[in-house]
Amino acid sequence: MPPYKQVTKDYMKDVLQGKKKLLKMHQVRFINAPLFDEISVKNLYDDVKQQPLVRDYFPDELPKGCQCDRGYFYNVWNTMYPEQVKETIEHANKMRYTISDDKARENAITITDEWEQELKSMPFVSK
């Protein structure tokens, strides 16, 4: 599994010399992360790359204009730190799919006690 589509000879040289590592396919804990901007490779790569267990699986520098392959990035990270990946994705989902208190207040309708009593006195049938 190369870290980006066009593997440079320098990265492969580092792997063969023991400076960098590659995972065997049977070792990989595969994951299909959602395509959210908040958890894009571009946003997370520098922080994740600094962690001790994944450091050896990413090149020190990527060729100009290249970005780490998304599948490779998440699969390596999930193999080494599955709880971190799970928490990151759950946090992104939570932030994306929950309404903030301000938005909830903005959409809320306040009614008088009189109208509340009137509405409660009517039969309600859900359809």
Spatial separation of the C-alpha atoms in residues 20 and 25, rounded to whole Å = 16
Average pLDDT, the chain: 86
pLDDT at res. 83: 97
- The tens digit of pLDDT for each residue in 16-38 reads 999 999 899 999 999 999 999 99
**C-alpha to C-alpha distance for 68 and 59, rounded to whole angstroms:** 9
Tens digits of residue pLDDT in 58-97? 888 887 888 888 999 999 999 999 999 999 999 999 888 7
What does the pLDDT average to over 46-55?
93
Q: What is the pLDDT of residue 4?
A: 55
How far CA 58 is from CA of 15, 61, 87, 98, 112, in Å, comes to 10, 8, 22, 34, 61
Query: Does residue 10 register a pLDDT over 80?
Result: no
Measured distance between the N- and C-terminal CA atoms of the chain, rounded to whole angstroms: 53
Domain ranges of the chain: 9-85
